[in-house]
Amino acid sequence: MNQFVDKATLTLKAGDGGAGATSFRREKFVPMGGPDGGKGGKGGSVIFQATHKVQSLIDLKTNKIYKAENGHQGMGKKKSGPAGRDLIVNLPIGTQIYDDDNNLLHDLTKQDDTFIVAQGGKGGQGNSVFSSSVNRSPQHSQPGMPGEQLTVRLELRLIAEIGLIGLPNAGKSSLLKMLTNANTEIGDYPFTTLHPNLGTLKTDDREIILADIPGLIKGASQGKGLGADFLRHIDRTRILIHLVPADPSPDVVWEHYQIMLNELKESSYSLLEKPSIILLSKADLIDSDTENSIVVFFKHQQVSLLPVSAFTNHGISSLIKLILTMSQ
């Protein structure tokens, strides 16, 4: 399985501006030509660009320092030096950029969104601009200005309209695969999903992005399990789908639901305020009488529960209609 990395710290250095040239005209029959030193080229900038082709910050793990090209020195005949090439760093859509003081500099929220994070230095002036009636042969030019240098912290928060959440092995990956045909790893053991997966639910006139968030466990909001690192991904979603796995005992199902609610409540994000759909997942594992008793149990607690099965398609069409209605 490919490793998923959603945090990175980088050191960035924009290119320095090129030095201006100190030069004089040297042409036949013009022995005392005037100054003609050109300006130095601008240093290249470091630019972050969002693209759907990158899903993780894993590629930044091996290279922590990014440096753009310096501008080139000015030339004679008042020719400016070539500018340094910009360095473009591709990042996943949803990457947030913070400075050393934890200030948010920019949020890359859409395809091809760009942000100049380190500006290249200006090129120095050549000696031609310093010529005057007092000094017709200036012997000096300017050095280029240094490019910006800084350390930034990157944090990825996936862009999805709907987040699938639940305890480990609740059936989130199976449901995502059923709804979107996403290529997710599925197995009958906890923490099969080690990183968020995205999929798109396509209808005749709509495309809705869903995210399968790795399983929460009791204590995830305090740093236990895999859930803590991925709660931030839920923060961007508009709607949450809670998956509570079927069990013969309504009390057990209710307990699992309460564990999930508590972790959302204790997190540092306002997750309980989001509209939600509560699913009784893996409903194919229980009989219809047990299913009905669990639904009634939740109804007495003022919670609407929709039984579904990604294995038999039970309840899937009703779920899709509900998603389309709530996401309008």
* Residues 249, 264 within the same domain: yes
Residue 96 sits in a domain of what CATH number? 2.70.210.12
Residues 181 and 303 in one domain: yes
- Last residue within a domain, chosen from 156, 172, 200: 156
Are both 52 and 197 inside the same structural domain?
no
Asked if residue 194 has pLDDT above 70, the reply is no
Instruction: Report the b/e string of 234-244 with b at 16+ CB within 10 A.
Output: bebbebbbbbb
- What are the φ/ψ torsions at residue 135 (nearest 5 degrees)? -130, 95
Contact (CB, 8 A) for 34 and 137? yes
The Cβ-side half-sphere exposure at 325, using a 13 Å CA radius, reads 8
Same domain, 267 and 224: yes
End-to-end alpha carbon distance in the chain: 35
Distance separating alpha carbons of residues 250 and 232, to the nearest angstrom:
30
120 and 19 inside one domain: yes
CA distance 74 to 81: 4
Domain boundary among 156, 171, 186: 156
The string of pLDDT tens digits covering residues 214-237 is 756 555 445 444 445 566 777 778
The string of pLDDT tens digits covering residues 10-43 is: 999 999 999 999 999 887 776 667 899 999 999 9
Per the structure, the complete domain to which residue 310 belongs is given by 162-326
Domain co-membership, 48 together with 124: yes
